[in-house]
C-alpha cells in the first residue's frame, strides 16, 4: 500500500534551503532517482535533465527560464520521496512515499 504525505509545504528561503538539501542527498552512496527541470521554449514546455553537480542559484534558474524542478529520489533501502520546487515563486512541496505502509 502506498502511504503518501503531502503536508510539507515550504515558501521563501525555506523552500530553497529544502531544494539544496534534496540536491545534496544525490551525493549519498545509496541514493537513487533523477532530477528533471521544466522550462518553456517558445510556447511549449520542455523537459530537461538537471545536473545536480552544478550549483544553481535561484537567479540562475530564473535566467534560464526554469519553471519547475522535480526531484524524484530515494535510496536502495526502499525510501522514496519527491520534492517539487518552483523557483519563480519560491515554493516547494516535499512528498515522502512509504511504499511499505509503515
What's the rounded mean pLDDT across residues 76-96?
90
The single residue listed with the C-alpha cell 505502509 is 101
Q: Is the pLDDT of residue 12 over 90?
A: yes
Q: What is the pLDDT of residues 34-70, one digit of tens each?
A: 888 888 776 777 778 877 677 777 788 888 888 899 9
User: Domain segments of the chain: what residues?
Assistant: 8-98
Give dist(CA 17, CA 10) in Å, integer: 9
* Count of Cβ atoms closer than 10 Å to residue 4 Cβ: 12
The DSSP element (H or E) to which 90 belongs, if any, is: none
DSSP label of 28: S
Task: State the pLDDT at residue 2.
Answer: 45
pTM of the predicted protein model = 0.78
Q: What is the DSSP letter of 40?
A: E
Amino acid at each position: 500500500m502506498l502511504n503518501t504525505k503531502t503536508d510539507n509545504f515550504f515558501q521563501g528561503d525555506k523552500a530553497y534551503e529544502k531544494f539544496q538539501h534534496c540536491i545534496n542527498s544525490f551525493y549519498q552512496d545509496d541514493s537513487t532517482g533523477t532530477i528533471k527541470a521544466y522550462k518553456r521554449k517558445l510556447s511549449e514546455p520542455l523537459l530537461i535533465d538537471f545536473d545536480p553537480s552544478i550549483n544553481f542559484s535561484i537567479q540562475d534558474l530564473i535566467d534560464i527560464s526554469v519553471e519547475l524542478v522535480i526531484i524524484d529520489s530515494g535510496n536502495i533501502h526502499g525510501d522514496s520521496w519527491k520534492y517539487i520546487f518552483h523557483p519563480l515563486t519560491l515554493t516547494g512541496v516535499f512528498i515522502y512515499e512509504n511504499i511499505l505502509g509503515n
